[in-house]
Structure 1
């Protein structure tokens, strides 16, 4: 409460009422007449005027002392207008707030629905994740298999390309063979020579020279020309290295001269050297293979051919070097072979057929053999 304003209004009102009463009494005593009125009426007018002055003084005092009173007296319509506008704006704001509240509720409902859907999706994702991991593992395995297949395909493509080239060379060789123009085949053995341990450089060099002459003789014999007209294309650096390898060697060695490629008649023969250690495989008279011969309905020639094939296979397994082209490790005199066939055909009981080493047989071969045929169970 504004006590200062209240006290001020009471004091001013009391003063003005006292002054008005005093003025009215004096006028009444003097019987003053205003505007031709009776003194009693004049006193009433002055008393009413004093009340007006009291009201004016109260309003003026309140206006001076209180800003709110001044605003209420002089700006009431403006305030009412502002209050109306503010009320309208407040109502609009309330409507907007209400609308926003409704939208907020709708948004919250949508948010709850979305959160529910999100939870469902997360649950589905959690249930699908193991399958996804498995699918990733399967995909990784498929990729690895695909890479392996691609590498295998690449290797197969290379092999196919190599086989095509080889087939092309074979077709060319076949054409040349049919036309009778091939003198030497690729990989064919043209000769070999044994080099004893501790051989001197001069001796080894002489053996290499002899090996070349032997190869020239073989090619010349096939081509029907003089060996002097045959030219061997040799890598001199390779030949020097092979000679060095065989010189003063602690072990028995043998050297082979091999044709590098098919050679047409009249062409230079490209050759290479191959050096191997030589060791004793079969001693003279050693039993290499044996079978029993049953004469009833058997073919002696086929029997011996099978036995010789077994000897060839066994000799290769024992380390004897076969011919690069034919795969054979030796040859047998036809007379000795057919003598053995005839002896088996004449037999009337089971015979023991042994294949014996005719000489000491080393790694380089050849495998020289003899047949030893005796009745089965008889002492050798």
Structure 2
């Protein structure tokens, strides 16, 4: 406020002073009828007046600039002032955003604080309920202790009764073991009498062969009859009989159904003859004929099954379990198992023992792979080789 009054006072004084001087100069110039640059006195007076006005303005601005820092800023520092104002505005906006964010965080913290306060209230309520329940449990504890003492008394009596019952149980188990031993001896005697002359067991494969497709019913029956003659000769050799006679008997309906299946098939069929009952030496051989699709199931070099086992002790059980898994996998792939054993192939004993020894020598996990030695068809058998691969290799 005070600076403004000073500026106003200076402008007033300077304006009056310069106006006075201009008037004096103009009067003198007019009286003397002076001429500048060859102009008439009238125009010279006008020029003097204009110059006087310019001098008044310039002198006023100069004195104001010297007397006031604000005037200097307004005249010469306006761009810098604008830049500073823009920077200040940006700073204010940034601070405002930060303030808004802080306010949001404060609201979130307040919300969390209210949640914690509610949880504290709920916890205090639960604590009060727990204290009340504990008080009730203390009252019930006395009655429970009395019941426990009574239960111990009854338990002692029950233990005595159990001891007597265990003695009786041991006697009965001993009697049962004697009966079981007697039963096994009787079964062994019966089986020895009955199965001593069994040549083929019920369900055992007597023979099998592959018949090509494209045959009519008559040709199919002829091929089937020729195959059964070979099977009959095989049974005669098993019976150690040299005479030519028919010992294998198959129902006509079974033969007709298989002959029609062969004639209708567009792919090779594997024909299998199995015993329909236990075949006793010298008795007729009742048999059945079955037909299966003869297709390539596993190519040579196929990894049929792989699994990870633990090396070291116990390798034998792991390897045997692995072979059971291989057998199951082969049957799931479509290989026909042996009706008696349920197995689809065999593994030489020396290779099995060698695999077990390799696994036992390993420390830590070992990967086992079962790989087919040759192409395997539906009829099998599956010939495999076992590969032992250390897990870290």
- TM superposition score normalised by structure 1: 0.47
- TM superposition score normalised by structure 2: 0.45
